[in-house]
Amino acid sequence: MSSERIFLSPPHMSGNELELVKEAFASNYIAPVGPMLTAFEKEFAAYTGIAHCLALASGTAAIHLALKELGVGPGDEVVASTLTFIGSVSPATFLGASLVFVDCDRESWNMDPDLLAELLEQRSTTGKLPKAVVVTDLYGQCADLDKILSICDPHGIPVIADAAEAAGATYKNRAAGKGAYAAVYSFNGNKIITTSGGGLLASEDQRLIDRARFLSTQAREPFPHYEHEEIGFNYRMSNIVAAIGRGQLQVLDDRVKRKREIFDLYRELLSDQPGLSFMPEADYGRANRWLTVMLIDKETYGADPETIRLALEAHNIESRPVWKPMHLQPVFKNTPVVGGAVAEDLFARGLCLPSGTALTDAQLEHIAALIKACRK
């Protein structure tokens, strides 16, 4: 059992991907354009119900392009969730903007709308308004998007939904990200579906997507020679990678189903353990349960998350602390934060458990038994 490493959330191919990659090879579109890319974007648009989709090299690139196109630059402020992954917030710094972080709430572990409202109220009376708000859908659970939009809309501040972890999740029966000005998805190797690496920007605003497409391919003006009036990026997804994405998209709903089963099984197996609890599910949506996240009350359980992590590691099983809040990161030591205590508490008590969709129930039972053995 301990010979083969169990990863946190490894890629899980369906088998169809290889056929599609072969098709892409046969067409000789070994390039960042081609029929697979166009088809992947169309199919993703159909899946999410968001009109315009642009496949890119990463989710980070997608956020970068969205912020850039919103005119974010030096002297501007971008609001973001503190409990998130670095890729959600680094693009604002690429553009020379400053960040302000907002704590999460206990119901969803996502940006607390009340704290966001407080911040915008304060900024509107004493200073300049933030240029954009980036809201993370953490661990595949959507933030309360409509509430956040109702806070941002009166100030005219656009909202970018960072649904990098949330493909396949829903919010009020809409696809994760739908309803925001722009939505971002990631197909990095550890995400619920993967293209090895990749991302996507989606929006109802065709202008945004057209501009982002232009910027993602080196901002080449329509001339026979290479002509540049502005600086762009080399951020497009390749046609080969898009073939993997098409195969993965076909099984996204199956992956969500299995991720949710994994969460339920962990919770069931560990339900008799005092001091253990699991990430709540907000009643407005259906999380994809990308990762099963457990909270450990050290006093009651007699072991802390690190003890459990090391015990699993000793059996060649990967687990990981809850994301370290951005306001605690050395690189953001001078960045303001509204609140922060909830994210700090979740970081201190949280552990992400192996959640790969190819794991068997027997493997999950083995992991649960190892966790139980840590109890003092």
Ligand X SMILES: *Cc1c(COP(=O)(O)O)cnc(C)c1O
Task: Catalog residues that contact ligand X under the rule CB under 6 A.
Answer: 58-60, 84-85, 87-88, 136, 162, 164-165, 186, 188, 199
Q: Which secondary-structure segment (H or E) carries 204?
A: none
CB nearer to ligand X: give 59 or 245. 59
CB nearer to ligand X: give 7 or 301. 7
Q: Where are the beta strands (DSSP E) in the chain?
A: 52-56, 77-81, 98-102, 132-136, 159-162, 170-171, 174-175, 182-186, 199-203, 276-278, 285-286, 292-296, 320-321, 337-338, 350-353
Helix (H, G, I), strand (E, B) or coil at 346: helix
Q: How far apart are CA 138 and CA 132, in angstroms?
A: 19
CB nearer to ligand X: give 165 or 344. 165
Minimum distance of ligand X from residue 189's CB (angstroms): 9
Q: How far apart are CA 250 and CA 7, in angstroms?
A: 23
Minimum distance of ligand X from residue 61's CB (angstroms): 7
Minimum distance of ligand X from residue 184's CB (angstroms): 7
CB nearer to ligand X: give 256 or 303. 256
| 63 contact partners, CB below 8 Å, separation of at least 6 | 87, 88, 91, 134, 160, 162, 184
Minimum distance of ligand X from residue 308's CB (angstroms): 22
Q: How far apart are CA 200 and CA 89, in angstroms?
A: 16
CB nearer to ligand X: give 60 or 239. 60
CB nearer to ligand X: give 301 or 332. 332
Q: Are the C-beta atoms of 368 and 315 separated by less than 8 Å?
A: no
Q: Are the C-beta atoms of 188 and 70 separated by less than 8 Å?
A: no
